[in-house]
């Protein structure tokens, strides 16, 4: 499948996925385009990366014809990030009917966690 424009812009790359466990690991490329006036990656772009980590963790568990828009995303910003490679780890924490609870974190390559997130998604059938 062709990656979506948002994934291309974020430098999204699949590292590992385990649909049975509901876990995923992806990589991103934080670009100079994402910098805020303080010269670090604007927090919203870290949120975009986390959205593109938690969402795919759930999507990997869905059946054909299902999709799952995110209804809520809560991000905590623990540390700042410079342009370069970042790692996203996401997981499906729980599933109750059509509601899915997701969590994950974004790390620098040296293992420092720069942001964590929880999200809620609504599984729908076409």
- C-alpha count within 13 angstroms, C-beta hemisphere, residue 4: 4
Nearest approach, Cβ of residue 54 and its own copies (Å): 10
Positions that interact with its own copies (CB under 8 A):
1, 4-10, 32-38, 41-45, 47-52, 67, 69-77, 80
The answer to whether 81 touches 47, Cβ cutoff 8 Å, is: no
- Give the rounded distance of the alpha carbon of 53 from its chain centre: 2
- C-alpha count within 13 angstroms, C-beta hemisphere, residue 111: 0
Nearest approach, Cβ of residue 122 and its own copies (Å): 10
Nearest approach, Cβ of residue 1 and its own copies (Å): 8
> Which CB sits closer to its own copies, 25 or 51?
51
């Amino acid at each position: 499948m062709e990656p979506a424009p948002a994934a291309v812009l974020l430098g999204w790359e699949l590292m590992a996925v385990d649909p049975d466990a509901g876990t995923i690991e992806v990589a991103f490329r934080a670009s100079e385009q994402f910098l805020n006036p303080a010269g670090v990656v604007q927090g919203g772009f870290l949120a975009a990366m986390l959205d593109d980590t938690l969402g795919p963790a759930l999507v990997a568990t869905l059946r054909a014809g299902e999709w799952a828009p995110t209804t809520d995303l809560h991000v905590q910003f623990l540390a700042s990030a410079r342009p370069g490679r970042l790692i996203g780890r996401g997981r499906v924490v729980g599933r109750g009917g059509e509601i899915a609870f997701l969590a994950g974190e974004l790390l620098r390559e040296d293992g420092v966690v720069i942001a964590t997130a929880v999200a809620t998604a609504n599984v729908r059938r076409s």
